[in-house]
Structure 1
Amino acid sequence: MIYDHRTYTCKPGTIKKHMKLYEDFGWEPQSRHLGQPVVYGATETGDVNSYVHIWIYKDATDRAAKRAAMAADPDWQVFLKKSAEAGNLVSQVNKILVPASFFEPPTQPE
């Protein structure tokens, strides 16, 4: 099992607009392909212009297949176009995490 931990940073003052854009156009196609994230939230303290989401996959092959299907989805392409036009994002940091040997994840991927 792997976790795809993603942190996105928005231009100051645009995070609420970006989250609304995602809610309206990105959430449905992304969750349709990737399932429900473990976490999806805006940063409350620290870099308040950022948000984090964490997706769980069986393995790298499962991740690649799901992300390829999402990338090919016309609805996801609409969101990407609208996001690029809005220009709210300034950075993205992705990390692939594996659970520690003693950790029992609360949910298993489908």
Structure 2
Amino acid sequence: MIVEHRTYTFRPGTVDSWMKKYEAEGLPVQKKHLNRFLGLYVSEIGHLHTTVLMWGYDSLADREARRAAMYGDPEWQKFIGEIWALNAIQSQDVMIMNPAPFSPGV
């Protein structure tokens, strides 16, 4: 399994409204397409106004196919358009993480 690790930095005061919208509208669409939701974490100490979102995939090809299907979904297009219109996200960083040979499940 590979892990997609997404870090989002938000404008101060916008994380809570983004999370409510994401939980209600974005996450259900992503779960339908991306399948293996590993978690969403919110910073409390350190870089504030930051979230980390993680998804698991069998391979890069699996990720590519699943994300292509999601991008083709009209529900996702509606959601992501509304998210960008909020102008809440200041930056995003996406990493693909490979497990170390001694990681659980390898």
TM-score w.r.t. the length of structure 2 is 0.94
1:89 maps to which residue? 89
For residues 8-19 of structure 1, the aligned pairs below 5 Å read: 8-19=8-19
Matched, 1:64 2:64: yes
1:38 aligns with 2:38: yes
2:74 is the counterpart of 1:103: no
CA distance in 1, matches of 2:59, 2:32: 18
RMSD after superposition:
1.3
Deviations 1:25-58 (A, max 9, x none): 2011011111141121211211220101111111
CA distance in 1 between partners of 2:39 and 2:21 (Å): 18
2:78 — aligned with what? 78
Query: Displacement of 1:93 after TM fit?
Result: 0.3
SS at match of 1:69: helix
Gaps of 5+ in 1: none
Q: Is the 8 A contact 2:36 2:57 kept in 1?
A: no
Cα deviation code 1:44-78 (max 9, x no counterpart): 21122010111111101000000000000111111
Q: CA deviation at 1:21?
A: 1.5
Structure 2 residue aligned with 1:21: 21
Across the two proteins, how many residue pairs are aligned to each other?
106
Q: Which whole-Å CA distance do the structure 2 matches of 1:36 and 1:4 have between them?
A: 10
The runs of 5 or more residues in structure 2 that have no matched partner are none
Identity of aligned residues (%): 39
Instruction: Give the match's secondary structure for 1:38.
Output: strand
Give the counterpart letter for 2:96 in structure 1. Answer: I
Helix, strand or coil: the match of 1:45? coil
Alpha-carbon distance in 1 for matches of 2:79, 2:41: 18
Look up the equivalent residue of 2:20 and give its one-letter code. K
| Segments ≥4 residues shifted beyond 4 Å | none
